[in-house]
Amino acid sequence: MAFEHVLLTRFNVRLTDDQEPPSEEWVAARIRIFSDLCLPSVRRQRRPPQQWFVFFDARTPRHWRNEIERLSTGGAFRPVWLDGAFDARAVNEALGADGLGRQEYLVTTRLDCDDALAPHFTETVQQHVGRAGDAYFINLVLGYQMSAGRFYLRPYIANPFISYVEPLSPGRPWATVFCRPHHMITDQPLVQVRCRPAWLQVIHGRNLSNRVRGIRSGDRMPIRLFHIPKHYLTHSDSAMAVVADQVSSGVRFVTESLRDGTTRSRLRNVIRHRSAD
């Protein structure tokens, strides 16, 4: 079936008109990750999307606007400058200005500005577009998290790299993948795709809503998949580091378990029986 595939990235946008955009310090930190990891990963896609729209607040300081325009040279992505809040209307206007959104189906994929895609990501999404009819989501389940130079394999059944396939409806704007929070998809079909790790979520001090939830993995595969620059690999990947991670995970598990009243009661019973013995 005829479709167009578009990546959508929100950078320093506002979600409401009265909201202030992120600080210049925030922008400086994100541009570094964007240029080091996110942008190169999209350039390496084996089957690129039709377009990649990256949305910025129109009040972004001039020197950062110049840097963004420089990064977009060659058509790697299309910067979209918003005077108001980010919403579906902004996406539809960008599609129309670029001559897109006229095929039978539109596929939109979320990509945060501080994350990255494996080279097979967009190809895999496009291979699973083939179900005609109502709208549905496509989720590539497996990816990596990177935190403090260490990597964690993460199965994630409703992740922030999710895609949305929707049919053309004349007179109605495209809803886009942002029609639902990625972790709250309950009213539409969701196709789970199991494949090689397809994405990298970067955990750092400025995205406090995320935390490491994966299983510690080796470095070789993610470094090769995502071409991680050396300055992101700040740790010494020794046996002691692995042990420290395992101990930390065990302590976290015990701490969280003890918050549950039933678990505490069972633990007291075990201690009581062991003492009697």
Helix (H) or strand (E) holding 275: helix 261-276
- Structural domain boundaries of the chain? 3-235, 241-276
Nearest one of 110, 160, 114, 147 to 22, comparing CA atoms: 114
Grouping H, G, I as helix, E, B as strand and the rest as coil, residue 4 is: strand
Q: Cα(244)–Cα(263) distance, rounded to whole angstroms? A: 25
Calculate mean pLDDT across residues 157-164.
Answer: 94
Q: Cα(277)–Cα(275) distance, rounded to whole angstroms? A: 5
Identify the pLDDT of residue 206: 58
Q: Using the predicted structure, report yes or no on whether residue 261 has a pLDDT greater than 70.
A: no
Confidence of residue 195 (pLDDT cuts 50, 70, 90): very high
Grouping H, G, I as helix, E, B as strand and the rest as coil, residue 192 is: strand
Helix (H) or strand (E) holding 146: strand 142-147
Higher pLDDT, 104 or 239: 104
Nearest one of 226, 6, 181, 11 to 112, comparing CA atoms: 11
Q: Cα(184)–Cα(137) distance, rounded to whole angstroms? A: 12
Contact 201, 144 (CB under 8 A): yes
User: Residue type at 204?
Assistant: H
Beta strands 3-10 and 142-147, pairing class:
unpaired
Confidence of residue 242 (pLDDT cuts 50, 70, 90): very low
Confidence of residue 1 (pLDDT cuts 50, 70, 90): confident
Q: Using the predicted structure, report yes or no on whether residue 51 has a pLDDT greater than 60.
A: yes
DSSP code of 177?
Answer: G
Q: Cα(30)–Cα(11) distance, rounded to whole angstroms? A: 8
Q: Cα(224)–Cα(22) distance, rounded to whole angstroms? A: 32
Tell me which architecture the domain covering 3-235 has in CATH: Alpha-Beta Complex (3.90)
Q: Using the predicted structure, report yes or no on whether residue 177 has a pLDDT greater than 60.
A: yes
Q: Cα(179)–Cα(270) distance, rounded to whole angstroms? A: 49
pTM of the shown model: 0.82
